[in-house]
Each structure stands twice: as C-alpha cells, then as structure tokens.
Amino acid sequence: MITTKGLHIGYKQQKLIKVEDLQLSAGVYILIGKNGSGKSTFLKTLTGTIPAVSGKIELNGTSIHALSESERPKHIAFVSTQFPVVDFLKVSEYLALGRSPHTAFFGKLQPRDKEMVQNALRTLDIEHLSERFTNELSDGERQMVVIARTFAQGTDIIALDEPTAFLDYQNKSEIVEKLMELGQSHGKFIILSSHDLDQSIASGADFLIVDRKEKTLSHAPAGTSKQNIIERAFS
C-alpha cells in the first residue's frame, strides 16, 4: 500500500502541487497532466530522488524519504524518459546491473541474482535479446529491456517517466498491455506518466490526474469518463 498524508511537492521548497491523501493498492497507475504540470516532479518525489516540500509518502508503512540511499533502490525503481546508450553492454549485463542494490561491495552476482535476471527476461518475453548489445536494440525492445531491469531489481514500486514517448503505435500498445498484465500478476506498483489519453483509457488502468489550474493531484479509478479526465487535466 502506498499512502500519502498532507503531501506537497515541488522544487526547492516551492510548493507546486498539493497531493490529495492517497491510498493506493498494487496495480498500474497512469499519471496524466499538461506539460510542465508537475508529473515528473511527482515521480521524482515518489521515488525519493527529490524531497517532498511537506507531508509524507509511505510504502507499506515506511516513509520513502527515510530510506537510505543504498536501501531505497531495493524498493523503488525509477526509469527516466531516455535510455542511456552504452557501447558493448549486453542486455543480460544491463539487467544484472539492476541487481547492484542487492549485491556486495564488488558487485559479484550470487545464484539468487542470476535467477532474478533470468526471471525478468522470461517475464518480459525477451530471452532472445539476452546476448544482444543494448545499443543495437530497437526503441520498443529497449523499453522492454528497461522494464525487465526494474523487475530484476525486484522493487515494489516501478516509476516510469513517459515510457512510450518515443514509440510508434504498435509498440506503445504492446508496452502498455505488458505493464497492465504485470501490474495485475506481480503485485507491484507501476506508475507511469503518459500523454496518450485514448490509449491510457483503453488500457483499463487507474489514473492519477494533475490539475494544473487547481494545483492538485488526485486519484481517479479506472472507468472514469474521458470527459471527466479532460476537464480535470487539460482545462
């Protein structure tokens, strides 16, 4: 359960948005709002990358911002819009880097870590990419690989900043469908921001809507009408 109490988010103590008190159970949440409305700020606050201005966020009763730098990546994974392009890094090695919050000082992989990497490859159906270099992947494959990395990392929360931004229609639907499937079967919190309203509604996910005019962020369950969402997010 992710819960927030009296949460205000923003940069450098500047209140940008008031977040209504949330009580989220595991599943997929799509973050909708205008450009510059604070979607990224919310994701960054949720993942502990930046501090909250006031109030708190808890994951299963523990404050996210109280977690240490080394403890946080065991529970929370954050994927930014751009995938780092790296020469000579294999997909399997990239996934193994996702295990680094769990490995010891020299980063040596234990059987458990290798198993997690294999499971992640299987879960995302990308076992055939395992030995490919990451810089030779297509955009769609790359996104699958990044999501697989967060699964290898084994976190409760997976936050994705516009994971479908650079994808064509086909790939967009595949990624969103995959995320829905994973959210339902794996008991994780998958929170992604998106610009594609129609696709988001079709996916059947819950919404977190940033109302730029009212400067609030609120939860809208799946099935909320498109009209309602547009009024809140884009008016």
Partner 1 sequence: MLWHLFSGPIQIDGETFFSAITNFDSQQLSHNVVWELRIPRMITALIAGAGLSIAGLLMQTLFNNPLAGPYVLGINSGASLFVAFAIMAGIPMLSSDLGIIANALIGAFLFGLIIVFFSSVVRQQISLLLIGLMLGSFTSAIVSVLQSASGLQELKLFTLWALGSLQAVTLEQLPILFASFGVTVLGAFLVVKPLNLLVLGTSEAALLGVRIKRVRLLIILVTAVITGVVTAFCGPIAFVGLAVPNLIRIVMKTQNHSYLILGSLLTGAIFLLICDITIQYLESLFALPINALTSLIGAPFVILLVLRRLR
The DSSP secondary structure of 84-106, one letter per residue, reads PP-TT-BHHHHHHHTTTTTS-TT
- The SS3 call for residue 134 is helix
For residues 60-79, which are near partner 1 according to CB under 8 A? 69-70, 72-73, 77-78
Distance separating alpha carbons of residues 27 and 25, to the nearest angstrom: 6
Instruction: Give me 17's structure tokens.
Output: 């948005």
Binding residue for partner 1, selected from 50, 55, 80, 234, defined by CB under 8 A:
80
Distance separating alpha carbons of residues 50 and 78, to the nearest angstrom: 12
DSSP assignment letter at 1: -
User: Does an H or E element contain 178, and which?
Assistant: helix 169-186
Residue 206: closest CA among 3, 2, 76, 32 = 32
Q: How many residues bind partner 1 (CB under 8 A)?
A: 24
Q: Is there binding between residue 197 and partner 1 (CB under 8 A)? A: no
| Site track 121-160 with partner 1 (rule: CB under 8 A), x = hit | --------------------------------x-------
- The SS3 call for residue 215 is coil
CB 226 within 8 A of CB 201: yes
Binding residue for partner 1, selected from 24, 27, 49, 222, defined by CB under 8 A:
49
| Site track 1-40 with partner 1 (rule: CB under 8 A), x = hit | ----------------------------------------
For residues 170-189, which are near partner 1 according to CB under 8 A? none
Instruction: Tell me which stretch binds partner 1 (CB under 8 A): 33-41, 104-112, 213-221, 225-233.
Output: 104-112
Instruction: Tell me which stretch binds partner 1 (CB under 8 A): 19-27, 54-62, 93-101, 174-182.
Output: 93-101
What is the contact surface with partner 1 in residues (CB under 8 A)? 47, 49, 69-70, 72-73, 77-78, 80, 84, 86-89, 93, 97-98, 100-101, 103, 105-107, 153
